[in-house]
Amino acid sequence: MLFAVTHAWSGQSAVLPTLDGRAVSMDTRTVLTYVWHIITVENLVFGFAFIFMSLQSEQSKVQFVAWMIVSILIFRLMVILGVTAFHDVSALTDTLIDSSAIVIYVALIILGTRMKKKQYGGQPPQSNTGKWQ
């Protein structure tokens, strides 16, 4: 959710206002604005999904969704790097912050899928019948 907030903030304060001062058509500004905010909303949905997933007990379903999100993020990074390199290889250094954020985000997700749920209070897990296993 932090990525969604910082993405929206940087877009509204730094990136999107630069379009107003340039000879960019209104159609192009509109498309760039909604594309920017699609990523913002996507990051927000990911945040809510991870909060919801942290409350789930069935790890296999949680891991599947986590890996789907990792896949989306890796493809997002590939698009960022590929499009940038195609248009201007020297501009790849400008993607360092975004690329680093995505790599860190992916690493945290993968680390989270590897962690085991802790049992709090030293109590053994219970079955559906309520009896100790």
CB of 2 within 8 A of CB of 46? no
pLDDT digits (tens, 9 = 90+) for 62-109: 888 899 999 999 999 999 999 989 989 998 898 888 889 899 989 999
Candidate ranges 18-27, 47-56, 82-91; pick with highest mean pLDDT? 82-91
Range of the domain at 2: 1-55
Distance of CA 70 to the CA centre of its chain: 8
pTM of the model: 0.70
Residue 81 pLDDT? 93
pLDDT digits (tens, 9 = 90+) for 53-63: 888 877 777 88
Q: Which residue has the higher pLDDT, 116 or 62?
A: 62
Do residues 21 and 64 share a domain? Answer: no
Residue 63 burial class via C-beta count within 10 angstroms: exposed 0-12, middle 13-18, buried 19 and up: middle
Residue 120 pLDDT? 46
Do residues 63 and 46 share a domain? Answer: no
DSSP letters along 31-90, please? HHHHHHHHHHHHHHHHHHHHHHHHT-S-HHHHHHHHHHHHHHHHHHHHHHHHHHHHH-GG
